[in-house]
Amino acid sequence: MSTLEFTGTTVRYGHGAGAHVAVDGVDLTVASGGVHGLVGESGSGKSTLAAAAVGLVRPVAGTIRLDGADIAGSSAAARTARRRVQLVFQDPYAALDPRMPVGVSIAEAMRATGRRLSRADRQRRVEELLGLVHLDPKRAGDLPSAFSGGQCQRVTIARALAAEPDVVIADEITSALDVSVQGVVLNLLRELRAELDLTVLFISHNLAVVRYVCDTVSVMRHGRIVESGETESVLSAPAHPYTRELLAAVPVMGEPFDGEEAL
């Protein structure tokens, strides 16, 4: 298990007069073994923070550390360390190469571990990973188009796990899926977190989903964290007016959430 820690993290897009600060001095700790939610309206900077953690964008200030080791910099050590953080995106079809059998996508992601495996061992591991996300291991040769949206999202989760991460960042992983399969994917994530001792940063617009999945939560607005705490206390007694606004926009928040149903 691992702790992911953002300190004063700042990310800017563009330069000069056109520059836009998307993440503005964020301090956020995702505790080892926990599931931390990140909520906020569209454009608040959630995905940019995730992108910074996996090296897709470089912060202009602050640090991002995994168990104390820098993962934001350009050094070889930082690049190696940040492979322990894997990102699962919103749209599973867009995330997978349509011409590549899913088993090949998963096997490619195994390279991140740095271990060289024989063809037979790779095959075995791909089958094991498909089994882990409850897909038929015999389907490793199928293309993404042969899978439903929910199944495809399970493939992208298997691909993330192929890199043997300590931290998984799930960025709106259910928002492109049919309501009927969202609960299945969320339950899978919860199950894998426990089974593999993962630390999870869970990004979502959906406060009901966050309440179901997350132990703790941070609320982001205009690139800044405005409130953080235990999910139950933040959502039942929000301290910041913006959190209250977000909650007011959700029709029903009073009832305990059943992940198999209302999603």
Ligand X SMILES: Nc1ncnc2c1ncn2[C@@H]1O[C@H](COP(=O)(O)OP(=O)(O)OP(=O)(O)O)[C@@H](O)[C@H]1O
Residues that bind ligand X (CB under 6 A): 13, 20, 22, 40, 42-48
Dist CA 92 CA 69 (whole Å): 30
Report, in Å, the least distance between residue 19 CB and ligand X.
Answer: 10
- Angle, helix 149-162 to helix 119-132, in steps of 10 degrees: 130
What CA–CA distance (Å, rounded) separates 154 from 259? 17
**Residue 195 CB, nearest distance to ligand X (Å)?**
28
Q: Minimum distance from CB of 234 to ligand X (Å)?
A: 17
- In 10 A of CB 88, how many CB atoms? 23
In terms of CB distance, is 43 or 114 closer to ligand X? Answer: 43
Tell me the closest approach of the beta carbon of residue 254 to ligand X, in angstroms: 25
Q: Is 197 left (phi over 0), alpha (psi -120 to 50) or beta?
A: left
The encoded tokens of residue 21 equal 């600060």
Measure the CA–CA gap between 9 and 53, rounded to whole angstroms: 10
Between 57 and 155, CB nearer to ligand X: 57
Nearer to ligand X, 111 or 240 (CB): 240
For β-strands 20-30 and 167-171, DSSP reports them as unpaired
Alpha-carbon Rg of the chain, whole angstroms? 18
Minimum distance from CB of 109 to ligand X (Å)? Answer: 23
Nearest to 47 by CA among 220, 199, 180, 245: 220
Exposure pattern of 161-181 as b/e (b: 16+ CB <10 Å)?
bbbbbbbbbbbbbbebbeeeb
- For 225, which DSSP code? E
Q: How far is the CB of 42 from ligand X (least distance, A)?
A: 3
Least spacing, CB of residue 15 vs ligand X, in Å: 11
